[in-house]
A and B are shown apart, each in its own frame.
Chain A
Amino acid sequence: MKTPGTIWDKLQAIDRRILYLLLLVVIITPIFLPIRLPTVTMPSTQRLYDAIESIPRGGFVMVSCTWSGGTRAENMPQTEAILRHAMQRGLRVAVFSFDVQGAQLSLQIAERVAREVGYQYGKDWVHLGFHPLPSVVMKSMVRDIPGTFDKDYQGKPTKDMPVMQGIKDIQNVDAIVEIAASGIYGDWIGLVVGANKQMKFGFCPTSVMVPETYPYLASGQIVGTMEGMRGAAEYESLIRKRGLASAGMGSISLAHLLIMALIVIGNIGYFVSRARRG
């Protein structure tokens, strides 16, 4: 590789190890030296919050956690925020996952939040475990929820649990919230959402997934979203319980600023060296 000559050439070819180190520093520093930043709630987050708020006490909410360790930084605060909100509101909650890791991780989060809120397993909430083949499960739950989720994560029958009383099919579900790192919302919209016009469908994707959800937000098929870690921070602010996402906002902000600064530096070097060459 040709060695850069002038300072302007060097600005265009900063060693990648320096870039990695800079990123590491801007991510780690705010964790130890927290930066207090104002939170502006996006309309999509507000809509999801309002949707959960509008469900009467005792309503039935299903929370699907289709994520794994790779996206824990974003999906874990989302899961915690939505479960905390639903449990604080006194809603009946059923958690399940289409991902093996997601089943285990969501169980831990739900158990912790339930303990804090004073929710009783089987009476107020249930974990329905891991279920493979999402589209097949969705198709089946539209018509028969007790049959589709006949056992909880421990293999205990769900039909006698107070939390599942009166739940026959999708018509008895007030809201479904999918927390995912994939485009699974398409399956929900295609197979489930239209089957109960009153039901609210919320989606909590990772940040990179957000842009593709906007057409469905506009159509109302997705009632609201929690957009990655920032969305989770906004939701934490709405439920007045600052957590992991709020703590991570400093790192996320600085990382974004670093990327923009580096792009600007690279372009300054590019323009000046091009002007000098004539």
Chain B
Amino acid sequence: MWEAIARFFGPKPVEVVPYYVAGAVIFSVLVIILLINLPSRARKPLIATVTFLAGLFYATEFFLPIDEATQKNMLTDYLVPARKLGSLLAGMTLTLGILSLVRVHGRNIARLRAGWYNSVALLAAMVAMVVFGLMDKYSTHEGAKRVFNVLFEGMLINMDATMFSLIAFYIVSASYRAFRIRSVEATILMTAAFLVMLGQVPVGLALTAWIPRDSMFDWMRLEVVKEWLLTVLNAAALRAIAFGLGVGGLAISLRIWLSLERGAYFEREI
């Protein structure tokens, strides 16, 4: 049976690929319609079952002993198909996200709500990026490639960098206003911060660069002090936090896997 399934999902000659794609689209639409119309009483157990089976696959593959000769167990060969299925699901979630975005912002535009022009800009940008992105990949039209280049490199990446770099300005303003030595703890914190900051940049390192390496005063070099603060004091605290996070993550993973999790997402009717 597995071989028949593998054959069905395996590579196909180019001439029949459009039929497979059309079949997959029709099948997907039917499944989505079925899922939407499923009563929530049936939907919850279905989600729980699928979640459990998906988790069980990876857990079993991890814990099952492997054959020394092939370095595989009975599930190893299905890791790649599972990854491909995961990519498909990621693609589908992206589609759902786009549909949701179009619905929300389309409504804003149709009802001329406050800031409707922002919604127009968002949808126009999204459509332009999708259209020219596809043309860049699949068409030989030079003009389209140039437009995509302007949209992606000229605008998107630079706007992304601009948004991120704004943080630097806020950090300067916030550290100037917030860093007041009001207590012993604040003094220790600021001293450590100053040492790490100085040890982080060449101009700070230049201050103690005159102290000979491997001399008895080597420990006074800023990079050595910084390394000690980060690798000893800071790392110890981080290990403790990481350990706590790890245990917490394990507990949460188990709860999600077994559909025991309760809260905003898991209790609301969907």
B56 within 8 A of A: no
19 A-B pairs with C-beta separation under 8 A:
A23-B168, A40-B202, A68-B160, A71-B164, A104-B152, A133-B83, A136-B83, A143-B76, A144-B79, A144-B80, A148-B83, A210-B230, A214-B230, A255-B172, A256-B197, A260-B194, A262-B172, A262-B176, A263-B190
- Please choose the segment from B30-38, B105-113, B234-242 that sits at the chain A interface, where 4 or more of its residues have CB less than 8 A away: B234-242
CB pair A72–B235 under 8 Å, yes or no, is no
Partner among B82, B159, B227 whose Cβ is within 8 Å of the Cβ of A43: B227
A42 within 8 A of B: yes
A-B contact count (CB 8 A): 157
Question: What is the chain A residue whose CB lies nearest that of B80?
Answer: A147
CB pair A249–B71 under 8 Å, yes or no, is no
**Are A169 and B176 also in contact (CB < 8 A) when A40-B202, A148-B83 are?**
no
Binding site for A on B (CB under 8 A): 58, 71-72, 76-77, 79-80, 82-83, 86-87, 90-91, 152, 156-161, 163-165, 168-169, 171-173, 175-177, 179-181, 190, 194, 197-198, 200-206, 209, 223, 227, 230-231, 234-235, 238-239, 242
Question: What is the chain B residue whose CB lies nearest that of A155?
Answer: B137
CB pair A101–B156 under 8 Å, yes or no, is yes
CB pair A270–B180 under 8 Å, yes or no, is yes
Partner among A39, A69, A218 whose Cβ is within 8 Å of the Cβ of B158: A69
Q: Which residues of B contact A40 (CB under 8 A)?
A: 202, 205, 209, 223
**Are A143 and B164 also in contact (CB < 8 A) when A43-B227, A256-B198, A267-B181 are?**
no
- Please choose the segment from A12-20, A55-63, A87-95, A111-119 that sits at the chain B interface, where 4 or more of its residues have CB less than 8 A away: A12-20
Cα–Cα distance between A108 and B175 once the two chains are bound (Å) = 37
Q: Could you tell me the distance in whole angstroms from the C-beta of A84 to the nearest C-beta in chain B?
A: 21
Cα–Cα distance between A148 and B36 once the two chains are bound (Å) = 32
Chain A residue total in the interface (Cβ 8 A): 63
CB pair A256–B201 under 8 Å, yes or no, is yes
Task: Select the residue from A35, A101, A263 with max chain B CB neighbours within 10 A.
Answer: A263
Q: Which residues of A contact B156 (CB under 8 A)?
A: 69, 101
Task: Select the residue from B161, B165, B202, B209 with max chain A CB neighbours within 10 A.
Answer: B202
Cα–Cα distance between A171 and B160 once the two chains are bound (Å) = 37
Q: Which residues of B contact A260 (CB under 8 A)?
A: 194, 197-198
Cα–Cα distance between A143 and B77 once the two chains are bound (Å) = 8
Cα–Cα distance between A70 and B194 once the two chains are bound (Å) = 26
Partner among A20, A207, A253 whose Cβ is within 8 Å of the Cβ of B202: A253
Q: Which residues of A contact B242 (CB under 8 A)?
A: 212, 215
